[in-house]
């Protein structure tokens, strides 16, 4: 068995693994925000773009230029295969800057990508980088998993995702504010022979108050905060995700 970096193996199967419904909902959500806040549709950056599904949504909505940014070589390779009308760049949350990221109208960052930052100081640095890339009046929209998600998931039994070429066993561990998603991934090599890989995805759950203070400390104004609830395996419902819509 080989332990590999997160998304190294999963990238190739990410789209079927992540499902379609959520992305459709985000398309409606983004469209409504663009209209509501009269966001100009010149340049959009999709931060932690993964395989580029939301980047494509931004093109569909009508942004003239969309730049997808991620630090995973494998996720970007999948994005580049699918979408030729979008520019993709390999950058980390902590280091993206430069002239290609100036004067941006909208920055998006979806699917708990910012939870991968395990320190408040890193979250703040990322907020600062986004702030610097936006034009005055530009909008940043992102989501984060919450401490409620950690509570809900802590009682979950391991679950399985499978398709023809793949078995993924998902096992959750929660320690304080940290969620460890242990993925055992069996990939079909030939016939009935499989290779086993392990990916550990670690996320930190941030309190809403902490996030709001960090956003304000770098200069953002809060436009909206939207909460999503989810029913977990223990039958209880928790606030699992928060969307932050903020403006420079
Ligand atoms: C759950 S996926 C979400 C991908 C995409 N936003 C979506 O909605 O499908 C999380 C993404 O965050 C990226 N990521 C994690 N840490 C990162 C970092 N420090 N810098 C840039 N991207 C990062 C991962 O490579 C991965 O593509």
Domains of the chain (ranges plus CATH)? Answer: 2-147+205-247 (3.40.50.150), 149-203 (2.20.25.110)
Q: Pocket residues for ligand 1 (CB within 6 Å)?
A: 7, 18, 48-50, 53-54, 70-72, 75, 92-93, 110-113, 116
Q: In the predicted model, what is the mean pLDDT of residues 168-181? A: 95
User: pLDDT tens for residues 111-124?
Assistant: 999 999 999 999 99
| Atom number of ligand 1 nearest to Cα 51 | 9
Nearest to 11 by CA among 146, 158, 166: 166
pLDDT of residue 75: 98
177: Cβ contacts below 8 Å, ≥ 6 apart: 147, 150, 204, 205, 206
Q: In the predicted model, what is the mean pLDDT of residues 223-230? A: 97
Which of 22, 30, 48 has the most ligand 1 atoms within 8 A of CB, as the residue to mutate? 48
**pTM (two decimals):** 0.96
User: pLDDT tens for residues 76-126?
Assistant: 999 999 999 999 999 999 998 777 788 999 999 999 999 999 999 999 999
pLDDT grade for 163, boundaries at 50, 70 and 90? confident
pLDDT of residue 164: 84
Only one residue has tokens 């890339």, namely: 133
- Ligand 1 centroid to Cα of residue 133, in Å, is 18
Q: In the predicted model, what is the mean pLDDT of residues 119-141? A: 97
Which structure tokens are listed for 239? Answer: 């606030």
User: pLDDT tens for residues 44-58?
Assistant: 999 999 999 999 999
Nearest to 12 by CA among 187, 173, 161, 200: 187
pLDDT of residue 100: 74
DSSP line for 44-109:
EEEET-TTSHHHHHHHHHT-SEEEEEES-HHHHHHHHHH-TTSEEEE--TTT--SGGGSSEEEEEE
Phi, psi of 237 (to 5 degrees): -105, 130
Which structure tokens are listed for 175? Answer: 């320690």
């Amino acid at each position: 068995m080989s332990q590999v970096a997160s998304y190294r193996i999963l990238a190739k199967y990410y789209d079927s693994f992540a499902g379609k419904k959520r992305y459709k909902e985000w398309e409606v959500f983004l469209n409504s925000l663009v209209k509501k806040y009269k966001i100009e549709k010149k340049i959009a950056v999709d931060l932690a773009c993964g395989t580029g599904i939301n980047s494509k949504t931004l093109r569909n909505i009508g942004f003239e230029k969309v730049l997808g940014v991620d630090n995973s070589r494998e996720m970007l390779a999948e994005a580049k295969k699918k979408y030729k009308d979008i520019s993709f760049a390999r950058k980390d949350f902590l280091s993206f800057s430069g002239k290609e990221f100036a004067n941006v109208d909208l920055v998006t960052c979806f699917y708990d990508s910012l939870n991968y930052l395990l320190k408040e100081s890193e979250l703040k640095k990322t907020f600062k980088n986004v702030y610097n890339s936006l034009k005055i009046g530009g909008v940043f929209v992102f989501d984060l998993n919450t401490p409620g998600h950690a509570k809900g998931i802590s009682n979950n039994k391991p679950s399985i995702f499978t398709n023809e070429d793949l078995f993924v066993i998902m096992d959750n561990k929660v320690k304080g504010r940290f969620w460890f998603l242990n993925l055992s991934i069996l990939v079909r090599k030939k016939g009935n022979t499989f290779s086993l890989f392990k990916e550990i995805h670690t996320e930190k759950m941030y309190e809403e108050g902490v996030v709001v203070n960090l956003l304000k400390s770098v200069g953002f104004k809060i436009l909206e905060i939207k909460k999503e609830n989810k029913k977990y395996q223990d039958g209880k419902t928790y606030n699992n995700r928060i969307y932050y819509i903020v403006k420079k």
